[in-house]
Chain A
Amino acid sequence: NAGVTQTPKFQVLKTGQSMTLQCAQDMNHEYMSWYRQDPGMGLRLIHYSVGAGITDQGEVPNGYNVSRSTTEDFPLRLLSAAPSQTSVYFCASTSVGQGHGYTFGSGTRLTVV
């Protein structure tokens, strides 16, 4: 089924550990982005990419890295996890032809202890 696939769905990390959240889409969308969702805050943009090889920072980029080597994949790396990064992470994609209607993944619930 066409869509945005995120893995893992759940993850518990210890403070200082690193990990990569995976995101893949099979709709040939040029634009991909990562958001974090915290209670009462809505969703906030972490990083985004407008195409393979092109990434940029969003509103809350500190502590996260991204890369975009292919159109399909857009992994998010936590370099040294902190309790403040406990959140639900969503990956989203779109293309100009979608009228900017974004398709979201089902999310990764991350807890840092």
Chain B
Amino acid sequence: AQSVTQLDSHVSVSEGTPVLLRCNYSSSYSPSLFWYVQHPNKGLQLLLKYTSAATLVKGINGFEAEFKKSETSFHLTKPSAHMSDAAEYFCVLYSGAGSYQLTFGKGTKLSVIP
């Protein structure tokens, strides 16, 4: 069975401090993993993706994530938060097997305090 667990439903950081959003996954196949961001009343935008190449993945807007198979984790980080990073973030699993189906985590809402 495939599943994604986002360990925090809400994270609050001060502007200029590091961001860490945690994601664990479970998959019977070699996974592809994504992080999407959703700003209020907007659609979902792809931040970055892991598809079995380099385990450290760099995305847009200074975000990056590290795939750790031994820990079944794919945490999202950013060295310095900006006010514009305030949004909801989704960790997403594609487990392969030809199904094209995605499994979403329940989301982490990031607040950035000025």
Could you tell me the distance between the alpha carbons of A101 and B112 in the complex, rounded to whole angstroms?
27
Interchain CB contact under 8 A, A102 and B46: yes
Chain A hits for B49, CB < 8 A:
99-101
A70 to chain B, nearest CB (A): 18
Chain A hits for B51, CB < 8 A:
99-100
For the complex, would chain A's binding face be called helix, strand, loop or mixed by DSSP majority? Answer: strand
Interchain CB contact under 8 A, B100 and A48: yes
Could you tell me the distance between the alpha carbons of A56 and B45 in the complex, rounded to whole angstroms?
25
Could you tell me the distance between the alpha carbons of A107 and B49 in the complex, rounded to whole angstroms?
22
Nearest neighbor of A9 in chain B, beta-carbon distance:
B41
Number of A interface residues at 8 Å Cβ cutoff, please give it.
24
Instruction: Fill in one digit per residue for B87-108: 1 if any A CB lies within 8 Å of its CB, else 0.
Output: 0001000100000111011110
Interchain CB contact under 8 A, A43 and B90: yes
Instruction: Fill in one digit per residue for A35-78: 1 if any B CB lies within 8 Å of its CB, else 0.
Output: 10000111111001010000000100000000000000000000
Interchain CB contact under 8 A, B100 and A50: yes
Given contacts A104-B43, A106-B43, contact A99 B32 (CB under 8 A): yes
Number of inter-chain CB pairs below 8 Å? 55
Interchain CB contact under 8 A, A41 and B106: yes
Could you tell me the distance between the alpha carbons of A35 and B92 in the complex, rounded to whole angstroms?
13
Chain B hits for A94, CB < 8 A:
100
Given contacts A90-B43, A106-B43, contact A100 B100 (CB under 8 A): yes
Chain A hits for B94, CB < 8 A:
100
Could you tell me the distance between the alpha carbons of A41 and B45 in the complex, rounded to whole angstroms?
18
Interchain CB contact under 8 A, B9 and A40: yes
Chain A hits for B104, CB < 8 A:
35, 42-44
Task: State which of A40, A42, A58, A90 has its C-beta within 8 Å of the C-beta of B101.
Answer: A58
In the complex, which of the residues B32, B46, B100 has the most CB atoms of chain A within 10 Å of its own CB atom? B100
